[in-house]
A and B are shown apart, each in its own frame.
Chain A
Amino acid sequence: MTIDARSYQMQPSLRAIILIELLVPLALLVFGAYHGVLQVLYRAGAIRATSFAGIDYYQGLTAHGVINAIVLTTMFAVALGHALISQELESPLSTFGAGLSLALMLLGAVMAAAMIFLGKATVLYTFYPPLKAHPIFYLGLALFIVGSWIALFTWIPVYLRWRKQHPGQKTPLAVVGMFATFIIWQMATLPVAYEVLVMLLPWSLGWTPGVNVVLSRTLFWFFGHPLVYFWLLPIYVLYYTMLPRLAGGKLFSDFAGRVSFMAFIVLSCPLGLHHQFADPGISSTWKAVQTVLTLMVAIPSMLTAFTLAASLEHGARQRGGSGLFGWWKALPYFSHESWLFPYLFCGLVIFLFGGVTGIINASYAMDNVIHNTAWLPAHFHLTVAGPVFLGILGMSLFLITGLLNKPVAALPTVVAIPYIWMLGTFTFSTGLFIGGLRGEPRRTNLGLTYLNPASPSYRPDWWISTHIGAIGGVIMGFAILLYFIVLIRSLLAPTLKNAPPFRIPLSEAYHDETAASVRNFTPWVTVAVILCMAAYYVPVRDIIRSKYQPAPAYAPSSAVPIANVR
């Protein structure tokens, strides 16, 4: 039984802010997805040129990463947070705060995107120095991140007020999850903000002659790993709080959800070195320490997998499913009424493979086999382009149509899209896993050389893997095209009359224990900070003590270093 009658209604300004935060990245995604398809065509040698239709391969690759993996994911997380927190804590949010957050994110995104499209930031979304971008690119990224911080700052007073007014009551799980997401984000972005604002921006302006490459990489990857939990955790919120109800059941264990979110707070950050196994300047001992921590963070995901399976089983059995495995058949895979279900479910199926390959990548010397090969994009298209992307697509459609009182158009297509996407990503990743094991590099315009029969570097043994990848990429592009068609048709459809006030329907819990250990963030955040410092203190201290020679700047187009302005 749910008590749906609530006095709180979302304020119109927040509705507008959320809608912009959902629609702008989806508009940018048109280009982000277009260049994804182009990349598989370049890589298969179907395009054998430095650029296509005016966009250089690496320029497009930069845009693909920044739009899809930074702008889309962050703005969605902020929008979801605004929606869930205001609903579950039954409180309006500061319009000034939410508006300022949006304004900075938009300004930052526009600045970064403009530089990318002008060809002045062809440095990929990791922007490793000494390749240098235009200062406005770095400034834009910094503003974008600060904008995302402000969202958390608007939620904190609302949360603290709610705790005071509801003593002894559990904070709603969705709120716990969104706070966990943004607490992790806050911790993660501080080092990269330092890297961008203190190290890279002055250097890109010509004020400093060189940059410490080892330190900047280490700061970036301190950020780069919790970044993936920032992507994942909003989707875990959907999995824990919406999926069970869509399946017709209840969340098996509320406590498991809370423990998982708290475990992610502790274990998201002190792991970045597993992206630097192949780097110099960092001792193998500390790489090993962070390997152990990384494998430990697999545990809350495993608990999540079980809890979600149990919740799905609960729903399936309510729907008449039976048997040890037979109950899977009873889930609403193609139900129009629960059309959001396949977006979440297919994401989970894809994530099975993303998860195991992630564990492989993090397994210390095993990384030597696949580091920087095509295996890596194969892995992360099964994570950020799997559960995260599908969750964003589905939930964006849900929120946009709900907040605008529009019907969801073409429901048969809507429920088909996740399956088409899943077929696409599995095909794509199969190709790239095989290619990666054969040594195919990532981030490389293969069509010019390795997949070009006229080139002395031609690699015929990479033909099959790149072509499988290309087929997968085209299928993925097709799925996104269908999504845009559905989205536009929904937006153009006549507004529904007499629609009830919009609420996100959240699940009840089957086991709803009160456990004191997960009732407050403070102890978990404290442990997280201590653990981060413990895991990073020695490596960073050693880097600083090593006094690496600062590296001068290079533009991607020339082997001659850029002369300093001053």
Chain B
Amino acid sequence: MANQALNVMNKNNDKKSDEFVPRGALAFFALMLLCFGLIWLGMYWLTLHRQLGL
């Protein structure tokens, strides 16, 4: 039974076009870093503002 299961799974791996590429995760990741960057820059500005009045 293990062999049959292995064959079923291996069939999928032969087709490169079937490979799972997590584009959605990449989009989320980019969006996450963008938001992080904006929040971080906000605090960066606040730090400079409080010391230098910028």
Which A residues form the contact surface with B (CB < 8 A)? 1, 3, 252, 302, 305-306, 309-310, 312-314, 317, 323-325, 327-328, 352, 355-356, 359-360, 363, 365-366, 368-369, 437, 510
Contact = CB atoms under 8 A, between A and B. Distances in A.
A309 B20 contact: no
A54 to B, nearest CB: 41
A255 to B, nearest CB: 15
16 contacts: A1-B2, A3-B2, A252-B25, A306-B25, A306-B29, A309-B24, A309-B29, A312-B25, A324-B24, A324-B27, A356-B39, A360-B43, A363-B43, A365-B47, A365-B51, A369-B50
Interface in B23-54: 23-29, 32-33, 35-36, 39-40, 43-44, 46-47, 50-51
Given A369-B50, A510-B20, A309 B28 contact: yes
B23 A324 contact: yes
Contact of B25 (A3, A310, A352, A356): A310
Contacts, number: 66
Interface of B: 2, 5-6, 9, 20, 22-29, 32-33, 35-36, 39-40, 43-44, 46-47, 50-51
A430 to B, nearest CB: 13
B13 to A, nearest CB: 10
Given A305-B29, A366-B44, 18 more contacts: A1-B6, A1-B9, A252-B25, A306-B29, A309-B22, A312-B25, A314-B22, A323-B24, A324-B24, A328-B24, A352-B32, A356-B39, A356-B40, A360-B43, A363-B43, A365-B47, A369-B50, A437-B46
A369 B2 contact: no
A366 B27 contact: no
Given A360-B39, A368-B47, A369-B46, A252 B5 contact: no
B20 A360 contact: no
A322 to B, nearest CB: 9
Contacts of A366: 43-44, 47
The 7 A-B pairs with the shortest beta carbon distances in the complex, nearest first, are: A310-B22, A309-B25, A310-B25, A1-B5, A356-B36, A313-B24, A306-B29
